[in-house]
Chain A
Amino acid sequence: MIGSERRLVRDASFDITRKLFRISWLYVLLLSALAGVGYVALYSAAGGAPEPYAARHMLRFGFGLVLMVCIAMIDIRFIQRMSWLAWFGGVVLLVLVLKVGNVGKGAQRWLELGGMQWQPSELMKLALVLALASWFHRASWERMGNPLFLVPPILAVLVPVGLILKQPNLGTAVIAAVVGGTVFLGAGLRWWKVALIAGALIVAAPIGYNHLRDYQRARIDTFLNPESDPLGAGYNIIQSKIALGSGGVWGKGFLQGTQGHLNFLPEKQTDFIFTMLAEEFGLVGGLAVIGLLACIIIGGMLIALRCRHQYGRLVALGITMNFFMYVFVNIAMVMGAIPVGGVPLPLVSHGGSAMIMVMIGMGVLMSVHVHRDVEFDDRSRDL
């Protein structure tokens, strides 16, 4: 089915029906399975009830799914034309959130809209991917070697990352930087240049540490020695590890997790949802969830590889990388492998705006897949 069709689709016969057939429904099924895992976990987090988390979770996922399919119908060339507009919009929102945003957990990162709390930084990450992909879409191999050509995209990364740091939201800023770097790599930037930039950042890290807020420093300190303060900041990690460790290979059974159900596990419906699952379903359940997430990530990379235009490839790469970073940071965090960062597990954690943002990203990814064979007008001009 996929790939056999090699004709260039520019004619009017590429209508909605044909586009619907080109959606990878297998991929949609994988996403639904992940949301189903979320339902099970949230059902348990509420003490064995669909309210207040699980039922709403599925409702939002249903809405997200419709949104995703709608976005997948949008022509990727149109999205490409809108890329920089999205970037500017994201920056404006980031500035706005610093001025009027709601303060939560010591940082200014939320905007309220439609009864939900939105983080513009989430939107920004998607817009950043689109903008970078649009820039490199036109880039020939020679131009990639020109340092001046690289100045605008580097600025396109640094401006939003700086604004996100200022909120301050260290975790999202790092993710945005990594996602941006990945698009650079995919566009063909030489490895040594990437290594140079990364090295510069690592050197800058100790300097940056002095400019961090206290709570961020505490997180890093706690990470380095979690048992130093068992009732304070290290508490979450210890409790999470007790929960995981006591889950064992087969787990304690559905709704039987003592750590979660006795409320020792903090934020079990959001950040620590994976712990909850692994406590109740054990190593077997934890590995199954990681396997499912790996399938979704591999699927995203396959979409990138199958795409026949650079823009789509880079967009798919960036979106998949963003999803991967969420997964990696969240799971590594609950196991105490990296500092606690307030990053949810996509499609599993409770949280409306995060779910919608993930599904918007998935919609763009699917649009790449649906429009993988389209021709861009400007291709010949640039190369």
Chain B
Amino acid sequence: MKREIKRTGVFTRRALIIGGAQIAALGALAAKLYQVQVVEGARYATMSDSNRISARLIAPPRGRLLDRNGAVVGGNRLNWRALLVAEQTGDVGATLDNLARIVPLSDSERARIERELRRHRRFVPIMVREFLTWEDMARIEVAAPDLPGILVDVGTTRQYPYGATLAHVVGYVAPPNEADVADDPMLGLPGIRVGRAGMERVHDQLLRGRAGAVQLEVNAVGRVIRELDRQEGTQGQDVGLTIDLELQKMVLDRLGDESASAVVMDARNGEVLAMTTNPSFDPSLFNSGVSQAQWVAWTSNRRAPLINKAVAGLYAPGSTFKMIVALAGLEARVVSPGETVYCPGYLDFGDRRFHCWRKYGHGAMDMRAAVKNSCDCYFYEVAKRTGMDRIAAMSNRFGLGVKLDIELPGARSGLVPTRAWRIAQGKAWNIGDTIVAGIGQGFFQLTPLSLATMTARLATGRQVQPHLTRSIAGTLQRGARPDDWPSLGIAERGLQAMREAMWAVVNEQGGTAQVARLPAIPGQVGPPVQMAGKTGSVQVRNVTREQRERGYKSENLPWEYRPHALFVGFAPHDAPRYALALVVEHGNAGSEAAAPVARDIMAATIARDPILRQDRPRVAEGGRTP
């Protein structure tokens, strides 16, 4: 036992010595840390003050936005600018005074420069003036000895070659705010912009890339002695859009002066080929700064140029909704395609009378005829039998009143009313509301994009989602192939009946939209392409009995009280490829204001189709060239 005590004693002694040595060693580390951080730290501070080591971020060029054919719709152009590096001048004020003799600086500009100087480290170049002319730049270079700390360099700035044509899709960039800079130090660099709207905002991170950095050894006047190290950043990546620029231009052109919105989609995969809203605005104005007068002009315009009506304009669908009602009725087995409903020109329910658009009625209507003639009574009856909840459920499956996958930040889901929704509002749902919903009137709030999606799904039976991103850095994104999209799960027989009826609307004697029948398209091969479609007109205020009896004419109303005109359609009718939706605000009847425009848009779309066009390369056939 004594030996054990001795052994313990030896261990205790030695453990204390070892422990003491360990603590002493850590103490030595602490002393060394003090030496490096405080004693020598002064030396590093001196090194920094005499500009021995200077770190600079290098911003990569922002990625471009391209249309589906590779045309640049959001790009960069060179931008000469004067920068100020505070640590390279003894007197910032004097330098700015000297500079002001060459390029006048306003008081507000100087205030901004001083604010930025306080915000950034002394070695970070601050932007003094952008968009210098060649002459100004030359004069600054000549006066360089009087301008210590002033650098002239060439940066890039955002350019939108097609301005208003794609403003709402492409969006715009603007200078970053302080919160942005806190998230990413690269944004503190002069001239950097961040995406603020549209695809510029959606893909901002990808487009922006990541800053590289360079560490330079410089002498006291800022001359670079040598580069100590360089970290390459990541280039901003190009984002390819689904938009077809030429088609987009043509569509916008065709909308003319109307306050209107049109969406053309590839019905097979949901790629949005054209998304137009009229009027539009010039996005590059946001890059350089929007004037107060311009802002007021935009916001007070009742045609709302800043709002992308394609995804944020909300309308009742009107008669374009009738196919959904019919499909809901078919699925609920409350109606069959061959069953006829008699239309005397109105439907009485309770003490209310619901009128058909044709005063003296259509007579006996089966489903096909009801769609073709857009008979209201038929759909009042079908809606009444089917019930609102089943109609709403069917609309949701077609992309109406639900959130779509469209990337745009301002996109709205819209609303298809249900009984639960109405009750949540504290009101009762009346059967009358269901009856009105049968012709797409009432509480609906739907976007043109959702109507185009509905049409595409009708045409293909697939659950396609509208999207605008086609490729990133040249890599095709998921969703480009039709097989990427699952089936809707709706009986093909019903869908086929609707397609056929929509064909009749446009192409058969007596259809409501015969004006939309496609003309012979130059350069197109094979049998003539025909469009299937449906018109719609939506009242924006109720028609009173008194007006009706006096002989109501909507075209005599003031502009803002006239009904909206709508059209949805797809082509070719027998092998659907393109779907479109068009809303002309206060355009009156769909068949007059919307159908002819839709016809021209679809004709232009077909004319640009590489498969249907004659001048396509013929290598696919047999692989031999003559």
A: residues with CB less than 8 A from B are 140-141, 182, 185-188, 230-231, 235, 239, 241-242, 244-249, 258, 261-264, 278, 282-283, 286-287, 290, 293-294, 297-298, 301, 304-305, 310, 313-314, 317, 320-321, 324, 327-328, 331-332, 335-337, 379, 383
Closest B residue to A313 by beta carbon equals: B11
Closest B residue to A286 by beta carbon equals: B33
Q: What residues on A are CB-neighbors of B32 within 8 Å? A: 332, 335, 337
Q: What residues on A are CB-neighbors of B40 within 8 Å? A: 241, 245
Instruction: State whether A313 touches B3 (Cβ < 8 A).
Output: no
CA distance A301 to B19 in the complex (A): 7
Other-chain residue from B26, B38, B47, B53 in contact with A297 (beta carbon distance below 8 A): B26
> In the complex, what's the smallest C-beta–C-beta distance from A183 to chain B, in angstroms?
10
Other-chain residue from B8, B16, B37 in contact with A248 (beta carbon distance below 8 A): B37
> In the complex, what's the smallest C-beta–C-beta distance from B185 to chain A, in angstroms?
7
> In the complex, what's the smallest C-beta–C-beta distance from B2 to chain A, in angstroms?
9
Which 8 A-B pairs have CB atoms at the shortest separation, nearest pair first?
Answer: A245-B44, A301-B19, A262-B213, A245-B41, A283-B37, A263-B231, A188-B10, A244-B36
> In the complex, what's the smallest C-beta–C-beta distance from B306 to chain A, in angstroms?
34
B215 interface hit (Cβ, 8 Å): yes
Interface residues of B in 286-303 (CB under 8 A from A): none
Q: What residues on A are CB-neighbors of B26 within 8 Å? A: 290, 293-294, 297, 327-328
CA distance A321 to B23 in the complex (A): 11
Closest A residue to B10 by beta carbon equals: A188
Interface residues of B in 120-158 (CB under 8 A from A): 121
Instruction: State whether A283 touches B33 (Cβ < 8 A).
Output: yes
Q: What residues on B are CB-neighbors of A282 within 8 Å? A: 37
CA distance A337 to B53 in the complex (A): 23
Q: What residues on A are CB-neighbors of B3 within 8 Å? A: 140-141, 383
CA distance A191 to B418 in the complex (A): 90
Q: What residues on A are CB-neighbors of B213 within 8 Å? A: 262-264
A-B contact count (CB 8 A): 134
Instruction: State whether A246 touches B45 (Cβ < 8 A).
Output: yes
Q: Is the interface of B mostly helix, strand, loop or mixed?
A: helix
Q: What residues on A are CB-neighbors of B43 within 8 Å? A: 245
CA distance A318 to B240 in the complex (A): 61
Interface residues on B, range: 35 or more
CA distance A327 to B22 in the complex (A): 10
Instruction: State whether B14 touches A185 (Cβ < 8 A).
Output: yes
- A245-B19 CB under 8 A given contacts A293-B26, A294-B26, A310-B11: no
Tell which of B7, B10, B38 has the most Cβ of chain A within 10 Å.
B7
Q: What residues on B are CB-neighbors of A324 within 8 Å? A: 22, 25
B473 interface hit (Cβ, 8 Å): no
- A262-B55 CB under 8 A given contacts A188-B10, A231-B229: yes
> In the complex, what's the smallest C-beta–C-beta distance from B21 to chain A, in angstroms?
9
Closest B residue to A238 by beta carbon equals: B228
Instruction: State whether B37 touches A247 (Cβ < 8 A).
Output: yes
B18 interface hit (Cβ, 8 Å): yes
> In the complex, what's the smallest C-beta–C-beta distance from A292 to chain B, in angstroms?
11
Instruction: State whether B41 touches A304 (Cβ < 8 A).
Output: no
> In the complex, what's the smallest C-beta–C-beta distance from B187 to chain A, in angstroms?
13
Q: What residues on B are CB-neighbors of A305 within 8 Å? A: 12, 15-16
Instruction: State whether A321 touches B231 (Cβ < 8 A).
Output: no
CA distance A247 to B38 in the complex (A): 9
B100 interface hit (Cβ, 8 Å): no
CA distance A379 to B8 in the complex (A): 13
Instruction: State whether B37 touches A264 (Cβ < 8 A).
Output: no
Instruction: State whether B229 touches A235 (Cβ < 8 A).
Output: yes
Closest B residue to A282 by beta carbon equals: B37
Q: What residues on B are CB-neighbors of A286 within 8 Å? A: 30, 33, 37
